[in-house]
Amino acid sequence: MIDLRQLRYFVAIVEQGSLSRAGNFLHVAQPALSRHVLNMEADLGATLLFRTPSGVEPTEAGRILLRHARIMLDQLTVAEEEIRGHLNDPEGEVRLGVPGTIGQILAVPLITAVHLRYPKIKLRIAEAMSGFILEWLRDERIDLAVLYGQAAEHGIHTEQLLAEGLQFFGPADGLRSEQFPPPGSDLSFGRVAELPLILPDKGHGLRDLLDQHAKAAAVELNTIIDVDSYSNIKALVAEGLGYSVLPRNAITAEVGEGRLRSWTISGPQVVRHIYLAHSTNRPMTNAVSVVLALARETLRDLARTGRWIGAQVIDR
């Protein structure tokens, strides 16, 4: 019969990707881990791991066991917290995934708030594009996520918190002979679309949003350079190679320093929404629950106090 220790070992092996790395992580000898895997395979009558030159990967049976093992181990963690009276003093590790642009704004105040209110909780923040973060949430590699879009799928709950307007911007000295209204005034989306643009590549959340607006307006984006890094986009625009569209918060410093000029997009405005998400496929530990509440509070506070420039709270 498979026991909880074997389940913990198996989850670690799959997550680490090899027996040797799992052994180092668990402080268990690799031969002992191999014996545990062989015993589990014998008990279940199925091969659980596929050996590759770079390590191991779960077979179909292994993925089934992994899914159930995570649920059982999570439920055990919930029980342990309740038994030890951690409802008022939660502890444990909480994993949060955020887009890099949000991580720059959210990470420090949220980590600080968690440390001050719940010193026994270890908050780990991982940054990536929204698509990767959603995949991590599906695979239960993270507990919570901040996303730029709603995950309308079974097993994931999303809550809309903020709206953030995007701005068109260009180099301080202009580009060629284009004529614009004074900086800070409105510029139509149709006019923005026809100008030479430096944008993230297709598949990036911001680019997909702009493509949706272009399709709705029956226009095509005149994209001349694709680059996913916001800092590189701003540098290329400042060099006079084109124009771009980014959140107001991302360009505030450069506009204030006179290196860039910006305009508000109108007809229609381009707004993206920020969501807080978590999985509903497994029980939520008390540590995850309090960090979820604190992340919600911190995000709204950043917008209300103006520390997240250009973001507005969605009141429901």
3-state secondary structure (DSSP) of residue 157: strand
228 to 89, 163, 176, 264: CA distances (angstroms) = 41, 21, 25, 22
Other C-beta atoms closer than 10 Å to the C-beta of 84 total 10
Residue 73: exposure state from Cβ atoms within 10 A (0-12, 13-18, ≥19): middle
The average pLDDT across 266-295 equals 91
What pLDDT score was predicted for residue 82?
A: 73
Other C-beta atoms closer than 10 Å to the C-beta of 213 total 20
- Pick from 313, 213, 309: nearest CA to 269: 213
43 HSE (CA, 13 A, CB side): 12
Q: Which residues contact 147 (CB under 8 A, 6 or more apart)?
A: 99, 130, 133, 134, 158, 274, 275, 276, 277
What pLDDT score was predicted for residue 87?
A: 60
Q: Please, what CATH class does the domain formed by 88-159+273-313 belong to?
A: alpha beta
pLDDT band at 289 (very low <50, low <70, confident <90, very high): very high
* Poorest-pLDDT segment among 132-141, 148-157, 187-196, 233-242: 148-157
Q: In degrees to the nearest 10, what's the CA dihedral of 238, 207, 213, 258?
A: -20
Query: CA 41, 44, 47, 49 torsion: positive or negative?
Result: negative
**pLDDT tens digits, residue range 45-90?**
999 999 888 889 999 999 999 999 999 998 888 887 777 665 667 8
State which fold the 4-83 domain adopts: Arc Repressor Mutant, subunit A (1.10.10)
pTM for the structure as a whole = 0.71
Average pLDDT, the chain: 90
User: Do the Cβ atoms of 143 and 288 come closer than 8 Å?
Assistant: yes
pLDDT band at 125 (very low <50, low <70, confident <90, very high): very high
Rounded to whole angstroms, the Cα distance separating 130 from 180 reads 33
pLDDT band at 204 (very low <50, low <70, confident <90, very high): confident
Same fold, 88-159+273-313 and 163-272: yes
User: Do the Cβ atoms of 98 and 106 come closer than 8 Å?
Assistant: yes
In single-letter form, the type of residue at position 5 comes to: R
User: Do the Cβ atoms of 128 and 205 come closer than 8 Å?
Assistant: no
What pLDDT score was predicted for residue 262?
A: 93
**pLDDT tens digits, residue range 147-191?**
988 776 778 999 999 999 999 999 987 766 678 888 889 999 999
Rounded to whole angstroms, the Cα distance separating 143 from 168 reads 35
State which fold the 163-272 domain adopts: D-Maltodextrin-Binding Protein; domain 2 (3.40.190)
Q: Where do the structural domains in the chain lie, given as residue ranges? A: 4-83, 88-159+273-313, 163-272
